[in-house]
Amino acid sequence: MSEDFLKVALAAKEAAAELAPLPRAPKDAALRVIADALVSRAAEIVAANALDVERAREGGLSEYMIDRLRLDVARVEAVAEAVRQVADLPDPVGEVIRGNTLPNGLELRQLRVPLGVIGIIYEGRPNVTVDAAALCLKSGNATLLRGSSSAYESNTVLVRIMQDALAGTEVPAGAVQLVPGLTRDSVKELMRARGLVDVLIPRGGASLINSVVEESTVPVIETGVGNCHVYVDADADQDLAVEILLNSKVQRPSVCNAAETFLVHAAVADTFVPRALAALAAEGVTVHGDDRIAAYGDVVPAGEEDFSVEYLSLDIAAAVVDSLEDAVAHIRKYGSGHTDAIVTRSVSASRRFVALVDSAAVAVNASTRFTDGGEFGFGAEIGISTQKLHARGPMGLPELTSTKWVYTGEGHLRTGAGTVIASCAAGAE
Amino acid sequence: MSEDFLKVALAAKEAAAELAPLPRAPKDAALRVIADALVSRAAEIVAANALDVERAREGGLSEYMIDRLRLDVARVEAVAEAVRQVADLPDPVGEVIRGNTLPNGLELRQLRVPLGVIGIIYEGRPNVTVDAAALCLKSGNATLLRGSSSAYESNTVLVRIMQDALAGTEVPAGAVQLVPGLTRDSVKELMRARGLVDVLIPRGGASLINSVVEESTVPVIETGVGNCHVYVDADADQDLAVEILLNSKVQRPSVCNAAETFLVHAAVADTFVPRALAALAAEGVTVHGDDRIAAYGDVVPAGEEDFSVEYLSLDIAAAVVDSLEDAVAHIRKYGSGHTDAIVTRSVSASRRFVALVDSAAVAVNASTRFTDGGEFGFGAEIGISTQKLHARGPMGLPELTSTKWVYTGEGHLRTGAGTVIASCAAGAE
């Protein structure tokens, strides 16, 4: 581990210990100081960002990517406003999740506590640097930020401004750290920093996330890869099905909760597929269909990869299935466990679909686009977990916490082995 | 991956999909059939176990280890009774954790769902084979069991009996699988079975757990290593402190929630340490003390390793500290994040200790031995998590579940980007 990395990681760990016990007020105050500092020093940020944009141009980055990278004063003000919104959210730390008095009189409480040090690995957009730091700070966590090298100048200034701002508050300035270095090595160091980093959250494309999951010895929360399905059941209201399909695909094609495949029950294929193809074509969507879809119109032939891929574009795969169970089997085989929707009038069909589809979110007669921390009312979101441990689906502030059991007695002693089943009391096994 | 392993892993995954949607009744019925089968076929189990015990004898295993390995008819009946107790527990699957109607009318629900396939790596005692399988089955999960090679004959028969019993029930027989092979390779295969296994729970000593944590690409829940502390504050009731210290150390020294170190505030060392040394000596406990403890009596000099080690025996490390903050610093440096206790009359001291100690459980004026699923009223426990993600502290049935978001509308479409902060909607970043 390089000295540079060890230095920031230890600083983050130390800051995390100071930050964890702080109540809400000083954390909110610190967030507002950060927001003000970002606005008052916007010129510095825009100047540094210009260097990143210039290098990106020389490097031949696409205009789309350059636009995601660019910060102007208006965008900096929007970032600052987002920080103020985080300050306005309730503090998850200290919430009593469970609590009761045990038969022996012990008062048992399960409290939310911060995770500690959260490592964030992300791409492109420098606003994530501030968003992620703010969410982690609000939930009592220190942050180790490893953004894209393409935004290094911007991120360096943004982190310096946040640290300068914190220096005047009760929150330790070390609570926000930028991982030094532009090489892949710094990502590897983050993934190997077990004991210094409590959790890693990679936010980006499938390849980034998979490499982190494979190589990290630090616990990882996978986010953001979405191969979402819309299944049109035999009992579907077809007008409604067309609208849900269109909204799921075209309302914002570039995001993880957009639909990438639609499945149609054979019983309604004759009427629904032609309507769907026409409606999608009218929105400029290219359909990659299997043979049974192709029978109804002009589509690009779909191969295996079309059902596995996350297009993030105006493309959608399509297939006809013979039953709800076949639709579920397709989703289990090709899906990413993000969000899958059924359109049906049948209570029985919706019950079966919800029970059998093993995804973070299941939508019934609604667009897949609603799987979102904002839409769910979380107020903020650090990403959408597609794994089963710890957090599944949109992650708000509570998902950035762990828990602690506290029990209070007055000299309570344990007598007898209690009613332990398969406990660690099994000889520390 | 070997064909043998792939076969059982795929069988478990298939069974998990069938088991997940089952309601409580068929799962409880299957558990009772298993319990009956264990009792009626106890002779087979005892015969197979005799082969393991014989081999262990030839291998020169200690009498203590052999006793943990041995099964007789009475112990088999106790194992069966434990399975019936699991059947009597409430089913966590389907519990609605959060739910509300969104401003747009969408009905949002967060439900508990099974994790899927749970791999358990454990040592010695064959009863864990049945305990773990029963807890996983009750929570809707399939199990891949990898027990100690020393118990292979016993585990093979126990799993066969469970599978035979399930064959006559609604629960698929494949839901309980023994990982084939006696070599370390089969452990490695389990740790590399990402996509086939949803979570790995190693139950055993620190070396086993650390190697799994280091090498596994499957998400891991660490359990069971406990270096627990009792801190005697300046404001402690000393009679009470002596009792809590003794109970924490000697009531069951071999388990993870037993105390391994006690820390005494300098202000009360003169009166408390001599009493503690006398009381511990009377119970046959060897004290490994620092210089300041040694000033009060005859102790074994304590080195760094004494403060880090989990004795699991009638030994305890001891040190004098100058403040509550120094006690916390010691616990943060040497502790395992399991359970740490403070003995004090001071509300302020207990508040600070609870806030600053970053462990799964913090006890105030109570023995560390209460950190236990049975004592907490969970009814059952698969282990005690000492990590921060997903589950922390005693793990009952709810800790063996994930969650699923379900939202139901009537053609709800999303318009506008909503109030997303740092969302995956950030260009699928």
Q: What is the CATH number of the domain that holds B72?
A: 3.40.605.10
Nearest CA in chain B to A124: B429
Residues A86 and A212 in one domain: yes
What stretches in chain A show pLDDT beneath 50? 418-429
Q: Are B230 and B246 in contact (CB under 8 A)?
A: no
Q: What is the pLDDT of residues A66-104, one digit of tens each?
A: 999 999 999 999 999 999 999 999 999 999 999 999 999
Residues B111 and B241 in one domain: no
- pLDDT for residue B427: 36
Parallel/antiparallel/unpaired status of strands A401-412 and A107-114: antiparallel
**Domain annotation covers residue B376:** no
Q: Are B172 and B18 in contact (CB under 8 A)?
A: yes
Contacts of A389 in chain B (CB under 8 A): 115, 198-199, 219, 221, 389-390, 402
Residues A212 and A255 in one domain: no
The domain of A323 spans 228-370
- pLDDT for residue B1: 84
User: How many angstroms away from the CA of B262 is the closest CA of chain A?
Assistant: 16
User: How many angstroms away from the CA of B295 is the closest CA of chain A?
Assistant: 28
Residues B28 and B140 in one domain: yes
Question: Amino acid identity, residue B344?
Answer: T
Between B211 and A16, the more confident residue is A16
Contacts of A418 in chain B (CB under 8 A): 372, 374-375
Residues B236 and B346 in one domain: yes
CB contact under 8 A, A223 and B424: yes
Residues A184 and A239 in one domain: no
Decide if pLDDT at B322 tops 80. Answer: yes
CB contact under 8 A, A404 and B362: yes
Mean pLDDT of chain B: 93
**Domain annotation covers residue A314:** yes
User: How many angstroms away from the CA of A29 is the closest CA of chain B?
Assistant: 19
**Beta-carbon contacts of residue A207 (< 8 Å; ≥ 6 apart):** none
Q: Which of B348, B370, B392 is the last residue of a domain?
A: B370
Nearest CA in chain B to A215: B217
H or E element at residue B283 = none
CB contact under 8 A, A383 and B427: no
**Domain annotation covers residue B99:** yes
Nearest CA in chain A to B240: A411
How many Cα atoms sit within 13 Å of A313 on the Cβ side? 8
Q: What is the pLDDT of residues B382-421, one digit of tens each?
A: 999 999 999 999 999 999 999 999 999 999 999 865 422 2
- pLDDT for residue A398: 97
Residues A55 and A168 in one domain: yes
- pLDDT for residue A205: 78
Q: For chains A and B, count residue pairs whose Cβ atoms are closer than 8 Å.
A: 375
Residues A180 and A83 in one domain: yes
Residues A314 and A217 in one domain: no
Q: What is the pLDDT of residues B219-250, one digit of tens each?
A: 999 887 899 999 999 999 999 999 999 999 99
**Domain annotation covers residue A337:** yes
Nearest CA in chain B to A100: B376
Find the CATH number of the domain harbouring B323.
3.40.309.10
- pLDDT for residue A417: 52
Residues B246 and B103 in one domain: no
Residues B191 and B175 in one domain: yes
**Domain annotation covers residue B213:** yes
**What total number of domains does chain B contain?**
2
Where residue B97 falls among pLDDT bands split at 50, 70, 90?
very high
Decide if pLDDT at B265 tops 80. Answer: yes
**Domain annotation covers residue B426:** no
Angle at A175 between CA A48 and CA A56, to 5 degrees: 25
Residues B251 and B362 in one domain: yes
Cα distances from B363 to residues A200, B120, B350, B358, B369, in angstroms, run: 30, 29, 9, 12, 9
CA distance B237 to B272: 10
**Domain annotation covers residue A18:** yes
Q: What is the pLDDT of residues A222-256, one digit of tens each?
A: 887 899 999 999 999 999 999 999 999 999 998 89
User: Does the pTM exceed 0.90?
Assistant: yes
Please give the average per-residue pLDDT across B43-71, as a whole number: 94
**Domain annotation covers residue A292:** yes
